[in-house]
Structure 1
Amino acid sequence: MAFDLVQYFAEQIKIQKPQLLNQYSPDERRTYLLEINALTLGKLVSLWKQNENVVYQEIQRLDHLYVQEVARHLTTSPHNRSCLNKTELEQVIIELLEFQLKEIKQLDETGSFGQRGLRELILGQVEHLAGHADDWVWLTNDLKELKGSKTIEQEQISLDETMKEFNLMVNMQKEHTQAEPLALEPTAQLNPTWAKIFEPIVALVVLWILFEALQKVFA
């Protein structure tokens, strides 16, 4: 397995480039630098695949114009989704890409890698880059084989929380049902039972009163 340049560069950038993007919060700065670190190193990998002779020569001579050209290509790519504005992004890419090329040259000189050794080192970074950035980074630097390598972290919901949500939903449904007006069916007006019992008695009393009144009239 090749030496992990991804983590190595990230640590060296933290130590050697404290002024870079220091206008942002620590979390934002860390996110941007890790993102651009993956963007530029990934671009070196894809450029090496296209023509390793050219890239090896550029590592040896560190041509600023070459770095500018690569940075402009990354910045203007239609796949670029960086939150940084294009001017700021291009400047950071130039600085990090030049830093990476210098570090690789130093590693080459220290370890006597040669072109063959650097081939193994640089192409081996694909494995280390996997999962370190969103898909737009891999589409921008032409490392399409890494698309989808970043795992999407999903919030794990406990069974207890799920049951609470379910119970809340049930209670809300009950309250909604109780709040609805009940349709009242028309009911026939019922006469009380005692009224039916006393109807004949009342009639007899009325007749008796009428009878008494007639007797007084004809007396």
Structure 2
Amino acid sequence: MAFDLVSYLRDQVQLNCPNLHAQDISTGYKDELNILSLGKLIDAYRQSPEATYQDIKSQDELHIQHLARVLTTSSHNQSKTDRPILEHDLTQVLKLHISELNQLDQTANLGQHGIAELLEGQIEHLSGQADDWVWSTNNLTQLIGSKKIIVEPVSLDATLKEFNTMVHQTHTTDPTNLAPEEIMTTEVPTWSKIVEPIVAIVILWILYSAYTNYVA
């Protein structure tokens, strides 16, 4: 497994990006910036590895501003932050990312090929970390659908109550909807009162088994 650059850069953003302009500078917003930015660097490296590597080495301001603007103006971008503020904050995070990549390159002597391997290795760490619009925005479309959908557990108590209500409704007839000759007193057999809860439990068990198999 490749070095977890995602978590490392997340920590660096938390510590070293004090000049973000958004009012919401919560951990969730910073994670959004981190993933958008790193994903875009991976995409840029895939499209033009040599030029992107040189931009990392030179820490080219124009290149950083261009990447931030592409992310901000993407039609897929669903960030709730105002666009000018988002572009500013993305620029700050991209500067940090490129600076960190440059330092890693100098320290470990990674070179163009090593940086490429490092960035590609982040796909497994990015998987499931964001909503699909993020992957559409930074063009890491292979990760679309990777975030698990949390299914709320079914309450057996609620299901039992609902089922019992349904059963009682089927055995209850509203006499106001019947003609006088149709109204008659019907005794419910004792055996049905005994069997009814058993049938309910059996059906609930079938429903629960089907649900657990679906979740698994």
Q: TM-score, normalised by structure 2?
A: 0.76
Q: Distance in 1 between matches of 2:37 and 2:82?
A: 17
Q: Distance in 2 between matches of 1:163 and 1:54?
A: 64
Q: Distance in 2 between matches of 1:169 and 1:30?
A: 46
Per the TM alignment, residue 183 of structure 1 is displaced from its structure 2 partner at its CA by 2.4
Q: Distance in 1 between matches of 2:59 and 2:141?
A: 27
Asked if 1:13 is matched to 2:13, the reply is yes
Size of the aligned set, in residue pairs, is: 182
Asked if 1:23 is matched to 2:23, the reply is yes
Contact 2:17 2:92 in 1 (8 A): no
Residue 6 of structure 1 aligns with an amino acid whose one-letter code is V
Q: Distance in 2 between matches of 1:103 and 1:72?
A: 21
Residue 10 of structure 1 aligns with an amino acid whose one-letter code is R
Asked if 1:42 is matched to 2:54, the reply is no
Change (3 A) 1:179 1:91: farther
Match of 1:185 in 2: 181
Larger Rg: 1
Q: Distance in 2 between matches of 1:160 and 1:90?
A: 49
Match of 2:190 in 1: none
Q: Distance in 1 between matches of 2:3 and 2:49?
A: 19
Cα-to-partner distance string for 1:81-100 (whole Å, 9 max, x where unaligned): 11111111111111111111
Change (3 A) 1:49 1:169: same
Secondary structure, aligned partner of 2:6: helix
Match of 2:203 in 1: none
Secondary structure, aligned partner of 1:185: helix
Match of 1:73 in 2: 70
Change (3 A) 1:180 1:55: farther
Contact 2:9 2:97 in 1 (8 A): yes
CA RMSD of aligned residues (A): 2.3
Secondary structure, aligned partner of 1:156: coil
Q: Distance in 1 between matches of 2:77 and 2:99?
A: 25
> Residues 193-208 of structure 1: matches in 2 within 5 Å?
none
Q: Distance in 2 between matches of 1:180 and 1:58?
A: 82
Contact 2:74 2:137 in 1 (8 A): yes
Match of 1:146 in 2: 143
Asked if 1:61 is matched to 2:65, the reply is no
> Residues 62-211 of structure 1: matches in 2 within 5 Å?
62-169=59-166, 173=169, 177-178=173-174, 180-185=176-181
Q: Distance in 2 between matches of 1:108 and 1:21?
A: 30
Secondary structure, aligned partner of 2:180: coil
Cα-to-partner distance string for 1:141-170 (whole Å, 9 max, x where unaligned): 111111111111111113233213333455
Secondary structure, aligned partner of 1:82: coil
Secondary structure, aligned partner of 2:163: helix
Q: Distance in 2 between matches of 1:175 and 1:82?
A: 53
Cα-to-partner distance string for 1:93-116 (whole Å, 9 max, x where unaligned): 111111111111111111121112
Q: TM-score, normalised by structure 1?
A: 0.75
Residue 184 of structure 1 aligns with an amino acid whose one-letter code is P
Secondary structure, aligned partner of 1:160: helix
Match of 1:3 in 2: 3
Q: Distance in 2 between matches of 1:98 and 1:111?
A: 20
